[in-house]
Structures are given as C-alpha cells and as structure tokens.
Amino acid sequence: MRKRMIAPNEFTYNTLINGLMKEGKVGGATRVFNEMLMLNLSPNRVTYNTLIDGHCDSGNFEQALRLLDVMEAKGLRPDEVSYGALLSGLYKLAKFDIAKSLMERMRMSGMVVGYRAYTAMIDGLCKHGLLDESLQLLDMMFKDGVSPDIITFSVLINGFCKAGKIKNAKEVICKMFKAGLAPNYVIYATLIYNCCKNGDIIEAFKIYATMTRTGHDVDYFICNVLVSSLCRAGRLAEAEDFMRHMSTIDLAPNSITFDCVINGYGNLGDALKAFSMFDEMIKLGHYPSHFTYGSLLKGLCKGGNLGEARKLLYKLHHIPAAVDTYIYNTILTETCKLGKLSDAVALFDEMVQFNVLPDSHTYAIIISGLSRKGKMVPALLFFEKAVARGTLSPNKVMYTSLFDGLFKVGQSNAASYIYEEMEHKGINPDTIAINAVLDGYSRMGKMEKVDKLFIKMKSGSLVPSLATYNILLHGYSKKKDLLKCSKFYNIMTRIGISPDKLTCHSIILGLCKSGMLDVGFKMLKKMIMEDTLVDQLTLNMLIMNYCETDKMGKAFDLLNIMNLLGVIPDVCTYNAIFTGLNRASALRESHLLLHDMLERGITPTSTQYISLINGMCRMGDIQGAFRLKDEMEAIGVSSWDVAESAMVRGLALCGKVEEAMLVLDCMLQKRRIPTIATLTTLMHMLCKKAKLSEALKLRDIMPLYGVKLDVVAYNVLISGLCADGDALAAFKLYEEMKERGLWPNNTTYCTLIDAISTNEVSLAKSGILLMDLQERGMISWDCNGSTDDGLITAMKKLKSLRPNRRK
C-alpha cells in the first residue's frame, strides 16, 4: 500500500490488529496499535475492543483494564463488547472480585449488562464448580430484565451435568421452559451423554424418547453413546436391539457402533458373540481398527482361551499395520489379570522381537501384574529396565503398583522409599496412590502414620474417596478405636459418600473386637434399612462371635437375615453354628444342621460327624451314635474304617471301654483297619482303668494290621506303666521307640524322670536318659557329676520348654 502511495486508515489497522490477535500475537498487535497512534490515526471502539479481548485471552488483565481507562479518557464510551470481553476473561480465570467491581463500574456508568456478558460469567462460574453462584447470577439476570438465551441455559445445564447433578440440570430446564425456550440438540446431547456417563441408562433413554418425540434429529454421536452405555452395563442384547432400531431411522450402525458391541462381548469373555459381531461388521463393509482387534483378543483372554488369543495375534501379524502397542497391551492386561505371568513376560519379549515398541503403559501392566502376585524382585527389575531405556518416564501407575506390592509382602521400608522417590521426581500422587500407602501403614497397625498422611492428603488438592474412608475405618476397627471409627463414618456420610459392604464390615469388626456384639447387630440392621449391601463375610463374623459367646439364638437370627437377603450360608457359617451347638450339647439341633447342609449341597466333614458321635456317646445315646455312624458311611463323608473308628473313640472317651472293645473286635473281623488315633484313645482309656495287660495286647495287635505306633501311642503306654509302678517295662518301651526311629518328646522324658524319682530304677537307666537328652542338645550334663542333680536340672529345662497353656 505504501509503495503505491496509499495511506492505511483506521479500518486497515483494525483489520491488522484483529488478525494478529486471532493468531495470539499480542505483542505484534500492540506494535501496530502504537504505530497507528504515531501516525495520528484515532483508534475507535472496535480497535480498543479487539485489543481488550486479546489481552483478556492471554490473561493480561492489567493491560486490558488500562486500555479500558485509556478508551474512556479519549472520550470513547466502552460498550457491552468492551466490558463483556473483560468479564468473560476474569470469570474464566476465577478473578471474581475484580469482575464484581467491574460490574459495579458498568452500572455506575449507566451501562446495562447484556445477556452475552452474563452468559460468559455464568460459564466461568460453572467451569470452576461454583454452580450455586451461577444460579444466583441467572436470577440476577431476570431481576435486571435481561432475558437469557438458549446458550445461557446450555452453559448452566452442561455445568450441572458435568458435576453429576442431573436433577439440578432438569430444574434449569424447567426455568428454560418458563422463559419460553425449548431444549435444542446440544442440550439433549449433553443430558444423554452425562446420564450415560453416570450409569443412569433408563434416564438417558427417557431423554432420547423426548428428543425424538419433539422432532429433533438424532445422530451417530447420541446413538453410539447409548449403545456404549448399554455395553458397559453388560446389557448386550439390548444394545443389539438398539442397533436394529438405528437401521429403522436411517442410521445404519457404523464401525464405532460395532466396536462398542464387540468390546462389550469382549469384556464379558464371550468371544463367540464378539466374533459373530465382527463377521457382521466386515459383511457390511466396515473396516476393523486396533480397538476392534483388541476387543476380540480381550474376549478370548477373559474367556480363558489364551492359546486361541495367541493364535489370533500371530494371524494379525500378517495383516499390514494391524498389530501395534495397543494390541499387545490389551492381551498383556488380560494375561496378567489371569495370573499367567510367565506368558505375559513371553509376550513382552515377543513384542520386542516383532519391533513393536513397549510404552510406559506396557511396563505398567507387567509391573502391576507381578506386584499383585507378590513377585516384587522381577517387578523391580522391569521398573529398572523401563528407567534404563531413557525414552520412558516412570509413571504414577508403576510407582503405585510397586509400593502397594511391597507393603503387601511386608517390605514397608522399601515401599516408603519408592513412594518418597515418586514425590522427589515431581510425580504427584493421586487418591489411588495415597490409598495404597494408607492401606500399607494400616495393615502394619501404624495408625499415627495413617493420620499424618490423611491430614496431608486433605490439606492438598486430593479428595478422599470411599476406599480411603474404608481403609481408615478398618485400621481403627482393628485397634478397637471406636471413637475414631465413629468420627470418620460421620464425616463420610455428611459429605455424601454412601457406605458399602466394606464400610459395614469394618465398623462391625471394631464392635465385635470390643465385645459390643449387640451394638454390631443393631448397626447391621441400620445399614440394611439404609440399603447398604451386606456381604457374607460380615454376617459370618457376627455369627461366629455369637456362637463363641454361646448366644445361639442371635446366631440363628442372623442366619434368618442371611436367607432374607439372599446371601447363601457357606461352610464357615455352618462350621461356626455347628461348633456353638456342640459346645452347648444341643446334639439334636447339630444333627439337623448337618442335614440342612446336605440339602444345600454342602457336605459335612468327618470331623463334624465324629464330634457329634462323641457327644452322643458322652450323653449316653449309644443307639443314636450308631445311627450317625451308619449315616456317615451312607453319605460317603468318610470310609467305613474312619466311621467305625469314630464309634470306637466315642465309646472309649465316655468310659464305655468294654463296648468300644466289642466294636473294635467287629472291625477287625471285617478286616477294617482302625486309625492310630482310635487305638491310642482306647489304650489311654484302658490304662486309666488300670487294664494295662489289655492295652499292651492292643499294642501287639496293631502291627498285625499294618498300624504303626507313633510317639503319642508310646507315651500313653509309658505313662500307664509308670503310673502302675512298672518303670522297667516303661524303659523297655522307651528303648523300643528309639530302635524304631521315633524321637521321644518332652512328655516322654518328663514321664520317665518322674518315674525314676518315685521308683527304684538303676543308675544306669538314669544315665542313659541323661546321655540321650545331652545328645539331643536339650541339656548340658557332666557324666562324672551327680545323676540326681542331672535329673533335677533336666526336669527344670524340660518344663521350661513346655508351651504355656491357656488358663
């Protein structure tokens, strides 16, 4: 222009400034503006508005406000665009105080804030989560007589939807209808997308129905969002129905639709259905993507068909550009979830051989899989390999997997070191990482460290999750700190975090450990009333505690609650109740319980039948015991030998030795071999009744039936002989024990030393005993010293080695 002697005017400069500002070149626009002033050209309102808008976009509000002042000083009255640009920028960057003072300045100058400025301010508040304030601003609009447009309402609805507050978004829609406006495509799409995101599929379909009924066209975005949400919820049949519906509205399912359904079947491990949809996709002319192949591999892996997955992967290598890092990461993820770590490492090596470069996600998958299985050495080696590459930076997932795994294998110092290293490298931990550390310290009982870390977490930008509170509650429950449990439970419910089955378990655990079972029962009922899920573990814990305290009525009340909730009693449930009933000598009820177990498909153990047989024999119900023995054989709980052995033991333990001997004779005639425990019990009862000759006969019979005496059997006979004053015969058995390669134990030695002190036994026998004890390293004895002193020292030493018995 200048070469042709054409002088640029204000319009020319305004065009240049506008172009530079659109490109973000604020410095260049400012130089052009200064040149304009040097040429005595007068910038107009458009010039200033463009500059103010540009400075606001770059966050330079001081310069934007200075330009506003210059504009007024030049006699140019700022308009709605001037103020609107400033207000929009200030609200976007949360400069609310400056924005409010600017609004006052507008009002003082008689300027009316228009709907555009209000919309910009509402958008800024919504983006910063200040939703209540955004509604207040909407009310102010109405008071000022400014009518909001569809964009204003759209901004508000989007803000509430992003925060998961669909109910509030609907209230805004009501206000919109009152203002004479109807939702447009953007609003419907926003509502449907966020309902699906929050898992409220029914509400999403209601909105979809309203949208189509009011004449709005739907597109692939909305339809695919709905299909995807159905697939995530595992409702694949409904997703396929919706695909057919799409065809009826001239929106034939596209490749994204098929990918959603194939991925849905992949997540369920239904490879057959996934491949069926894949075939249909190809038939309709759609091209599969990496995501498609990844979903097929996932389906095969989740279905347990790792071999087929490897075959498919091999075939994919023959399709150009079909295999990439994503494909390998998919199969690696599922392989690690199945615990097939050697296969995962082999896949990693294969990946490198095929020139498919592992990324940070690949290393994170392997490290996570190894850490979950407690394989911390290879996990750390893989971590070092990732760091050594140089091109990969260790990420949050890698570090979290490592210190979580180290905590779980008891390496707390190493776990703390890894966590500190992560922070030192500037990787800020997220809630999941903090939870892993909290859980680690909680498992170790270090609640002081848990407290400090939780305070640090809250003082930062992280928000504690349900898992965080569950970890705290479980830790303090184990410590019986019910005050802290109550405090954290109240906090989580007050801030709107709904308790789950782990919350319920943790609180009731603390009450059980503190002996407050009835309070725990009331807490359980309260949580059930509040629709909190209660799991089998929690109910079993309460049942077990009530059974241990002989409150069988409460235990059966809980069993009824289990049945009402549809929670199936398991082996632990029945074992606890059976033990409690047996302890209370409620033999009839115990027997009925065994029948209930059988009806539910749970086979009672031989131990349960044996304890019931013993109980019936003790109560004198010999016929009932025999019936139980026959029942035990009939249902195949154990062999005939074990069933009849149980009968012999039951009779012997209740003092009916003659009857026990008769049953034993019947067994031997039928060539049924009694257990060593049965014969030992019988010999013990014979010894107690001073029938040593019969006990010794039994001992002579045992080898004939292939039953070898063990240390306990020898101890029974040695104790019996010593009690009868026949210490020499007892020493003969002691020598026999050693000849047969059996190691006498503490009981053997104590019995024999007692016998030496009360019977006339030769010094030679005493010396042999002391020499044996010395050889085994149990005492230190000088063979030239006093034998009596040696025996006294030996007895003291042996008594100190005995485990402390519960009082």
Q: What is the pLDDT of residues 152-165, one digit of tens each?
A: 899 899 888 888 88
Residue with tokens 């308790």: 499
Work out the average pLDDT over 223-230.
95
Evaluate if residue 65 carries a pLDDT over 90.
no
Q: Which one of 70, 96, 111 terminates a domain?
A: 111
Evaluate if residue 806 carries a pLDDT over 50.
no
Cα angle 666, 668, 672 (rounded to 5 degrees) comes to: 100
Work out the average pLDDT over 545-574.
90
Could you say which DSSP state residue 333 is in?
A: H
Closest CA to 591 of 619, 567, 568: 619
User: What gap in Å lies between CA 375 and CA 344, rounded to an integer?
Assistant: 13
Burial class, 609, CB count within 10 angstroms (exposed 0-12 / middle 13-18 / buried 19+): buried
User: What gap in Å lies between CA 415 and CA 412, rounded to an integer?
Assistant: 5
Q: Is 219 helix (H, G, I), strand (E, B) or coil?
A: coil
Could you say which DSSP state residue 2 is in?
A: T
Q: Which two tokens stand for residue 413?
A: 């110092």
Centroid of chain to Cα 656: 55
How many helices (H) and strands (E) are present in the chain, helices listed first? 45, 0
Query: So what's the pLDDT on residue 420?
Result: 92
Q: Give the domain extent around 49.
A: 1-111
Query: So what's the pLDDT on residue 256?
Result: 95
DSSP 630-669: HHHHHTTSS-HHHHHHHHHHHHHHTT-HHHHHHHHHHHHH
Q: What is the pLDDT of residues 647-676, one digit of tens each?
A: 888 888 888 888 888 888 888 777 778 888
User: What gap in Å lies between CA 709 and CA 679, rounded to an integer?
Assistant: 9
Query: So what's the pLDDT on residue 400?
Result: 94
Domain total of the chain: 2
Asked if the structure places residue 701 within a domain, the reply is no
Asked if the structure places residue 515 within a domain, the reply is no
Residue 34 burial (CB count, 10 A): 10
Residue 742 burial (CB count, 10 A): 16
Closest CA to 203 of 236, 246, 233: 233
Phi, then psi, of 60 in degrees rounded to 5? -95, 75
Residue type, 470: N
User: What gap in Å lies between CA 682 and CA 803, rounded to an integer?
Assistant: 26
- Place 761 in a pLDDT band, splitting at 50, 70 and 90: low
Residue 129 burial (CB count, 10 A): 12
Asked if the structure places residue 2 within a domain, the reply is yes
Centroid of chain to Cα 415: 19
Query: So what's the pLDDT on residue 221?
Result: 94
Q: What is the pLDDT of residues 624-647, one digit of tens each?
A: 878 888 887 788 776 667 777 788
Evaluate if residue 745 carries a pLDDT over 80.
yes
Q: Rounded to 10 degrees, what is the CA torsion of 113, 119, 120, 125? A: 110
Q: What is the pLDDT of residues 233-287, one digit of tens each?
A: 999 999 999 999 999 998 999 999 999 999 999 999 999 999 999 999 999 999 9
Are 702 and 674 in contact, with CB atoms under 8 Å apart?
Answer: no
Q: Which one of 62, 86, 111 terminates a domain?
A: 111
Q: Which two tokens stand for residue 209?
A: 């129905």
Q: Which one of 85, 111, 137 terminates a domain?
A: 111
Closest CA to 47 of 23, 73, 19, 88: 19
Q: What is the pLDDT of residues 483-521, one digit of tens each?
A: 999 999 999 888 888 888 999 999 999 999 999 999 999
Are 207 and 198 in contact, with CB atoms under 8 Å apart?
Answer: no
Asked if the structure places residue 52 within a domain, the reply is yes
Work out the average pLDDT over 705-729.
87
For 647-663, b/e burial (b = at least 16 CB within 10 A) is: bbbbbbbbebbebbbeb
User: What gap in Å lies between CA 396 and CA 462, rounded to an integer?
Assistant: 15
282 φ/ψ sector (left φ>0, alpha ψ -120 to 50, else beta): alpha
Asked if the structure places residue 86 within a domain, the reply is yes
Alpha helices, DSSP H only, in 496-599? 501-513, 517-529, 536-548, 552-565, 571-583, 587-599
Q: What is the pLDDT of residues 385-436, one digit of tens each?
A: 888 877 778 889 999 999 999 999 999 999 999 999 998 988 889 999 999 9
Residue with tokens 């005492």: 779
- Place 543 in a pLDDT band, splitting at 50, 70 and 90: very high
CATH of the domain at 39: 1.25.40.10
Asked if the structure places residue 599 within a domain, the reply is no
Asked if the structure places residue 126 within a domain, the reply is no
Closest CA to 371 of 358, 380, 362, 360: 380
Asked if the structure places residue 736 within a domain, the reply is yes
Cα angle 358, 363, 366 (rounded to 5 degrees) comes to: 120
What angle separates helix 255-268 from helix 271-283, to the nearest 10 degrees? 170
* CA–CA distances in Å: residue 587 to residues 578, 582, 634: 9, 6, 20
State the average pLDDT for the chain. Answer: 85
Q: What is the pLDDT of residues 434-452, one digit of tens each?
A: 999 999 999 999 999 999 9
Are 732 and 739 in contact, with CB atoms under 8 Å apart?
Answer: no
Closest CA to 645 of 679, 597, 691, 695: 679
Q: Could you tell me what percent of the chain has a pLDDT over 70?
A: 91
